[in-house]
Structure formats: C-alpha cells, structure tokens
Amino acid sequence: MSESPVVRLEKDGDVALIIVNYPPVNALGPGVADGIVDCLNKANADPSVKSLVLMGDGRSFIAGADIRGFGTNRKRPPIGQRTYDVMDASPKPIVAAIHGYALGGGLENAMGCHYRIAVPSAKVGLPEVLIGILPGGGGTQRLPRLVGAQTALEMITSGRHVPAPEARKLGILDEVLPEGTDLRSAAVAYARKVADVRPLPRVRDKSVTADPAIFDAMRKSIARRARNQTAPYHCIAAVEAACTMDFEAGIRRENELFLELENADEAKALRYAFFAEREVAKLPDLPKDVAPYEFKDPAVIGAGTMGGGIAMSFADFGYDVKIMDATQEALDRGMERIKANYATSVKRGSLAQEEMERRLARIHPVAGYDDIKDCDVVVEAVFERMDVKKPVFAKLDEVMRPDAFLFSNTSALDMDDLASVTKRADKVAGTHFFSPANVMKLLEVVRPAEASPQTLMTAMALGRKIGKISAMAGNTDGFVANRSRAPFNSEMVILLEEGCLPEQVDKVMVDFGYPMGPFAVGDLAGLDIGAEGRKRRAAANPNYRKLPIADKLVEMGRYGQKTGAGWYRYEKGDRTPHPDPEVAAIIKQVAAEMGVPQKDFTDTEILQRLLFSSVNEACRILEEGKAYRASDVDVMWLHGFGFPRYRGGLMYWADGIGVKNVYNQIAAWHQQYGERWAPSKLLRELAETNTPFRQAKPAPFA
C-alpha cells in the first residue's frame, strides 16, 4: 500500500499494518518516526481501515532509540507531534505486536498504542538510565499508569529487561500469545476483535497515585549503586511527577528532566562506554571471510574457584560442560563449591530452585582425560604456574581430537611458550576470565603468534555465547588488563610506605565510584596470588620494584578473607573488612626500615597516583601494538576491574583531565620518584600534539 525505506504500510482486509524495517534491530533511526506518523495518517484517512497493527520486521519490534542521535543537534519533534502522542490520539485502535525487544522508545511507542500483545520470548523495558538519561518519550508518565508507581520506579531506575510473561502479569501487555503462534496473523485477528471497542483504552487516561514516602525510600535504596550519578534520581523525580501532576504537566516535567541529562558528562561517558563495548568486538586485521567454529561440547580442566566459575558460565547459558581435576577429592570439593554458589543465588532470590537444578545437571564431573577426548573446546584453569600448565597442555594435545581448540585461563603467562608444548599451536589461545568467572563480564582473549584467525574468532565468540564481553589482547606479561593495572597495584602499596593507610586509599576509590576499594579487593582475591606474580616478575627483572609491605603480610600468612586477615581483619563468617592496628604497625615498621619520609596525602593525589600510573602503562601497551584501541582498555577496566561506568573508562576519564595535564603530572613525578614514572613515548607524543587518548593511533597489532 505504501513503500518507504524504513517503514511501510500494508493492508490485510480492514486492518492496516505499519511495519518498521530498520535493520538490524529496528532502532528509531532517521526516518523511522516520520515513517510511522506518515503511515498512521494514511491509515486513519482510509475509510476501509477499521484498526491498525504496529510491528517490526526482522529480529525485533523496536529495540529503542538510535543512541547516535543523543547529544547531537538533532531536532526533536515538539510534544504532541511525537509518534507516541500521535498514536495515542488515533481515532482508530492500534495494536502493538511485539517480538524480540521493545526497549526504551520501543516500549514508549507500544504504550502509545491502545493494545499490546507479544510472543512469549519478547522482552520489554526502559533502560535509558544505563546511558545516563531517562525515558523521554512519555515512558515515565505512561508506565506508572500501567503498572503502578513502585514497579515503574524499579523498572526505570534499574533499566532491566522484563520477559513477556512477567510483563503480562504486571499489566504492560494485554496478551502473551501461545508458543509458536504466528505474530502477524494473531495481531491482525486481535485488531479485528477490538476494532469497534469504544472508548479507546488510552494509557494517558489512566490515573496513578502513590504514597509520597515511596519516592524517598527509592532514593535511599539506590544511594549506593547510584553514587555520583544524576540520572537515577531524575528518573524518580519524573515518576513522582506522574503521580502528582496531570498527564500534560507530567510530560513537560519529564522533558525538562530529560534535557538536563542528555548533554551532561555522565550521559556522554555512558554513551561512550556503550559504543566502546561494540567496537571491542571488531578485529580489523583478521580476514573478514573467516567464521568462528560453532562449538558444542566444552570441557574445563581444574575444579578450583576459577574452573568452577567457568563451568558455571557454560551451564548458565545452556551448554553441557565436563569438568575434571587431578584428584577425585579436588573434583568433589569443586562441585560442592559450585552447588554452594548456586544455592547462594537461590537464597538471594536471583535464581529459582528449579533453574539451579537445571544448571547443575549440565555440569558433568569426569574422572580423567579419556572422558573429555571428544570435546571440541577445552579451557584449562589450573594453578597459575607454567610448570603446572605445560604438562596439562601437553596431555591435552595428546588426547584431544585433532580439531579441538585448547584455551588457557592464564592471567599473565606467556601464551607462545604454553602453545609450544603442543603440535597444534594454531589452535591455542588465551581465554582469561576474571574472578568470579561466573559473574564478571570480561573475557580477555590472548593472541599467541601462531594462533589461526579461526581460533581467535572462536575464542571471541565463546565469550559472547556465555554472556561475556570479549576483548583481544596481545601476548605480553599480564596481557592488556592486568599489565595496565599492575602499576596501580604497585602504587597503592607504595603509598602506604609514604604514610597512607589501606582504609584511606579504599575510601578515595569508593568515593570515586568503585564498588570496593583495591585493598578490600586484594583480600577478596587472595594476597598470595599477587605475591606469586611478584616473585615471577622479580626473577625475570633485576630492577623490579619490590613491595616489602605486601610481601610481609603474605609471609605472616595473612592471605585475605580466606585466612581471616589480610590488609584488613575479618570476623568469622563475616566478609566486612575491619581496619587492623597490626597492619598499621607493620606499615610503620617497614617504612621506618626503608627510611621513607612520611607525608599527608590529598584525595586527589591518591586518585591520580593510582590511575595516572595505569594510563601511562596503557599508552606503552598501545605503542607496542598489544591492544587495538584505547577504548578497548576502557572496556577491560569497566568489566574487569569495576571502573565506574559513568566515568566512561580509564582513558576516557583521563581525557577529561586533559592529555597535557596528565603528561605534566607524570613528568613531575618522574623527577620526584624516578624511573617507574618515566612518561611513555606515546604519552609524550599525544601531549605534544594535544591528541586525546581515545584518538591515539596504536602500532599494528603484535
């Protein structure tokens, strides 16, 4: 009936269908909104049309706004002329037929329709808070009118995706179709059924009230996770307006709050992070015609904390996975730990008991190598020492089928050296999971010299298939994530030598936005793990800067939470870190023995000493060609180390300070503290040309 590049109008008898076709996910890109309004006007002007359906081609209904348009000079239609408003005012009923995703502007358009139906696999939500804004198309005004203020607050401040069956119970959807139903046919039938129903059920006509106390309660409940952010609080204010103003006034208030957020630093940083996560998947120097191998039978070697977490990651995403260890005792202990981890999730209410049983049933403990020989991909997760890993890889090479991929969960070891013990170096790569492996989103794929393009793409795809964000790293000590973090880890202990205490450093970093301070994180991970890495680096480098305070704690058996004492002390059964006078005494004693002058530190100096050291090292990594992009470093810090997302990432944050300012401070500390603060060549070049870190051109990937 009508053709346009992104929206078309079709007829099925007396029902008109407005079909969005803006691949890949039908975002509200250029021309989509105008196309919807144009088709709507034509359908309403056609006397043969009794009712309408709004739906999407391809993978989704409408997956949200085109984020590239935020923060630009794009002209937004005035209130009253937006798609949601025009549909709301339609004299003929409109049915939103949802599959895939109806997120952000997608759900706002659906709520502008008079009825909403969906297939069971569909998901809906208003995730705008995750990019530092609020639902600015009436979402904060219409959703409370459908589900009530409390549920709307929870959905909008969390940004979560709600499955269709739950959305039906909440009142967002009018009907969830039976599994296997053809959506188009069902939508047309539904539209015919409601064609003559009057008055039209407009969401805007519903009223909503709420106890004023729930808004303050919500502000208090999000205080920790929303620290330093504005968008979550503006979301609450907008929903509050829905409960205290009429619809028109509430829409105007929503628009005011939206405009305050759109160009704020918080939103810019979150948009940057969003696009960086998509860019990190691009491997520009690998052939475009090579596809990853579609693995089906994964195995994990090592049932310790990391191995168990990796096995859970596979099971959580529907894979049957085999897991083995050197002894039956270790395997049994690992399975008990896995069960305990799942049980904790059930206790918290984040996992149903039935789902726990399903996931556990996918994890198959096996006795030995013969039981995994037919698997097509294996992830080794044994102790982080080359003399432990090499025999495992040699044995895997011997028993695994010839086309199987061998991946290692090493966090720092030389992958070329490890691959050399096999006759299939082209099928070997690093897959560095972060702890806890079943929770942390980052998978660092490490690229040995002989790894084939298919091997690398398979490793990257493996991460994505189990819910991770995969990022490529060159084969260098510590790879990209841990190598760039290493100066931070050293500097935080050196600060103690000069007069800081662990709790002072941790407070600065938590105030900056980290969920935990670095010393508390060290206790959680285990101080003995860091000590092992320091020993290895000291053996390889006679000029390695030792950390005697950290080494002293490990010598005393203070490994962290697992021993009840590390940088902090811990009460039995409690993970709360308590400052320990014994640690303060050790720090004072070692500093005196070293003859280090003591001083007071400002919060800014603590923050910059830690983060600038890592910015400088990240520049070295880029100049050596061990990472593709500065934004890849940011993604690794966001998902590997808990860097506050609303600050964009390490390098993005440093750009906010200014490359020249960063260089000048590092150069000054070079004069004061010596070689560890020597500015990298790339940093100096960027400062001389005033080029932002995120525009740095790294060396070709090596």
Is 303 found in the same domain as 257?
Answer: no
* Boundary-marking domain end, from 442, 472, 502: 472
Is 461 found in the same domain as 341?
Answer: yes
CA distance 627 to 606: 27
> Is residue 586 domain-resident?
no
* Largest separation between any pair of C-alpha atoms in the chain: 92
8 A C-beta contact, residue 95 and residue 114:
yes
Number of domains in the chain: 2
Average pLDDT over residues 468-486: 97
Contacts of 292 (CB under 8 A, 6+ apart): 454, 457, 458, 460, 461, 462
Which residues are catalytically annotated?
A: 108, 128
Q: How many whole angstroms from its chain centre is CA 642? A: 10
* Boundary-marking domain end, from 472, 496, 524: 472
Per residue in 167-183, pLDDT (tens digit) is 999 999 999 999 999 99
Is 360 found in the same domain as 224?
Answer: no
Per residue in 43-58, pLDDT (tens digit) is 999 999 999 999 999 9
Q: Under DSSP, is residue 277 helix (H, G, I), strand (E, B) or coil? A: helix
CA distance 217 to 442: 33
Is 116 found in the same domain as 184?
Answer: yes
Instruction: Give the tokens for residue 618.
Output: 């990240």
Q: What is the pLDDT of residue 539?
A: 83
Contacts of 368 (CB under 8 A, 6+ apart): 324
Instruction: Give the tokens for residue 462.
Output: 């493996």
Q: What is the pLDDT of residue 533?
A: 78
Per residue in 100-120, pLDDT (tens digit) is 999 999 999 999 999 999 999
> Is residue 633 domain-resident?
no
> Is residue 493 domain-resident?
no
Is 30 found in the same domain as 179?
Answer: yes
Where helices occur in 349-427 by DSSP H, the ranges are: 353-361, 386-399, 415-419
Kind of pairing, strands 123-125 and 162-163? antiparallel
Q: Range with the lowest mean pLDDT among 67-81, 113-127, 203-217, 614-628? A: 67-81
pTM confidence score? 0.93
Average pLDDT over residues 583-603: 96
Average pLDDT over residues 673-701: 96
Q: What is the pLDDT of residue 65?
A: 86
Expressed as residue numbers, the domain containing 308 is 298-472
Rounded mean pLDDT of the chain?
96
Is 414 found in the same domain as 310?
Answer: yes
> Is residue 644 domain-resident?
no
Positions of E strands within 442-531: 442-447, 469-474
Q: Under DSSP, is residue 82 helix (H, G, I), strand (E, B) or coil? A: coil
CA distance 64 to 345: 31
> Is residue 275 domain-resident?
no
Give the model's confidence band at 574: pLDDT under 50 very low, under 70 low, under 90 confident, else very high: confident
> Could you tell me how many helices (H) and strands (E) the chain has, helices first?
28, 21
Is 316 found in the same domain as 253?
Answer: no
> Is residue 635 domain-resident?
no
Per residue in 663-685, pLDDT (tens digit) is 999 999 999 999 999 999 999 99
Is 113 found in the same domain as 55?
Answer: yes
Q: Under DSSP, is residue 287 helix (H, G, I), strand (E, B) or coil? A: coil
Q: What percent of the chain has pLDDT over 70?
A: 99
8 A C-beta contact, residue 649 and residue 273:
yes
> Is residue 492 domain-resident?
no
Q: Range with the lowest mean pLDDT among 73-77, 383-387, 405-409, 549-553? A: 73-77
Q: What is the CATH classification number for the domain harbouring 133? A: 3.90.226.10
Q: Under DSSP, is residue 19 helix (H, G, I), strand (E, B) or coil? A: strand
Average pLDDT over residues 187-207: 97
Is 401 found in the same domain as 253?
Answer: no
> Is residue 133 domain-resident?
yes
Is 325 found in the same domain as 251?
Answer: no
Q: What is the pLDDT of residue 409?
A: 97
Per residue in 14-72, pLDDT (tens digit) is 999 999 999 999 999 999 999 999 999 999 999 999 999 999 999 999 999 888 888 77
Give the model's confidence band at 187: pLDDT under 50 very low, under 70 low, under 90 confident, else very high: very high
* Boundary-marking domain end, from 472, 505, 529: 472
Dihedral sign of CA atoms 313, 315, 320, 322 in order: positive
Is 305 found in the same domain as 252?
Answer: no
Q: What is the CATH classification number for the domain harbouring 396? A: 3.40.50.720
Q: Under DSSP, is residue 545 helix (H, G, I), strand (E, B) or coil? A: coil
Is 315 found in the same domain as 245?
Answer: no
Give the model's confidence band at 3: pLDDT under 50 very low, under 70 low, under 90 confident, else very high: low
